[in-house]
Structure 1
């Protein structure tokens, strides 16, 4: 009996050690896994991560981290899906509706991102102008950040922007001045419409928008397959 208790205790210690190693940049109590997330959603349904396509079927997805076409040059997600907290998706519905009156729509590159992926990004490049510091976590980890651009609904093509997605250059800044008139107009149109519906652009990335209520949501590390 004593031996069995010791084995159980050892397994618990090893389990905690593995978890601490996984979250080596931050206290593991600050990261919500599946069970904790479910309790949070039960207490507040607005905390649910919902699939954006189910609420906005016409939205276009180009989930780069489910491909090799990203700065990591490898697949970071096993599924090309986009999730966000329920109020974030409802705000995106309003954005999409506004854009459609102009013959435009949204293309999404990334949305909710598991915390463990943010750690991998940081360990590849620690430039926090473009990659979140895992000691603080990312708004993407909270389900409250969206990487996106505009498309022309008639052609399906992206509007001309100052850079492509995930460009680690000064030109990617939200207010970088030395761009063409068309790029400036397109960037500012996106900014104006997103801000009108509760989002704020990240200064260093024209494509990255944070939901204004992000502080009310926890950091998450839940794989897409579970959602």
Structure 2
């Protein structure tokens, strides 16, 4: 009986240790062996060496910005809550450029609405599992510019009402209408898209062809891919 009890205890201990190991390795999945910053220590070291690496909280940096972080809700194409906090971060130069965008829009009584900014690599893996189309969802084989903290998903709002202006489509619409050069649209939507693309381009952002809301910042390739959660960043 004692021998059986001892064997059972060893089996339970082995199962527990295996479970812990599985959890620790799955916390930062990297099936394509990409170079990922996935520890706070490594991130802080990079920031100490180059302050431009810092991820800035856009809600604190941008006056009157409206956050609509869809991936912190079930109201997104995955129908799941992906982020545990409705936060938006971007690298220091990206945040500085967005501040210039926001300041320039004030004269039109307009401001930015942010749907997404820095995105942990784990979210990119999840998105591609749900919708494996690289025309609309970044491939985890290369990672997303969101993972580098150098891409933002944005729209325009009226500063008085805080309501979003008419745009070609809703956010994360995977149709031809979402393409940044699609023209069979209401005049107001075309006009508002032109304003958004124009002001973002002026301050160093380029819109991607398949999504009118997605903008990459110039020099994004100088920043590493990251897989740190918002909670890890704000500890």
TM-score, length-scaled by structure 2? 0.87
**Post-superposition, which runs of at least 4 consecutive aligned residues in structure 1 deviate over 2 A?**
17-21
CA shift at 1:19, angstroms?
A: 6.0
SS of the residue corresponding to residue 108 of structure 2 reads coil
CA shift at 1:37, angstroms?
A: 1.4
The number of equivalent residue pairs is 215
Find the counterpart in structure 1 of residue 25 from structure 2.
18
CA shift at 1:182, angstroms?
A: 0.8
Q: 2:221 aligns with which of 201, 215, 218?
A: 215
CA shift at 1:21, angstroms?
A: 8.5
2:73 and 2:108 map into 1 onto residues whose CA distance is 31
Contact 2:66 2:162 survives alignment (8 Å): no
Find the counterpart in structure 1 of residue 4 from structure 2.
none
Tell me: CA distance 1:109–1:21, structure 2 relative to 1, closer, same or farther (3 Å): closer
The answer for unaligned runs of 5 or more in structure 1 is: 1-9
Contact 2:77 2:172 survives alignment (8 Å): yes
Give the alignment's Cα RMSD to 1 decimal.
2.0
TM-score, length-scaled by structure 1? 0.90
SS of the residue corresponding to residue 101 of structure 1 reads helix
SS of the residue corresponding to residue 46 of structure 2 reads helix
> Is residue 178 of structure 2 the alignment partner of residue 167 of structure 1?
no
> Is residue 87 of structure 2 the alignment partner of residue 90 of structure 1?
no
1:58 and 1:140 map into 2 onto residues whose CA distance is 22
The answer for unaligned runs of 5 or more in structure 2 is: 1-16
Find the counterpart in structure 1 of residue 50 from structure 2.
44
Q: 1:32 aligns with which of 25, 30, 37?
A: 37
Q: 2:79 aligns with which of 62, 65, 73?
A: 73
SS of the residue corresponding to residue 84 of structure 2 reads coil
2:145 and 2:72 map into 1 onto residues whose CA distance is 19
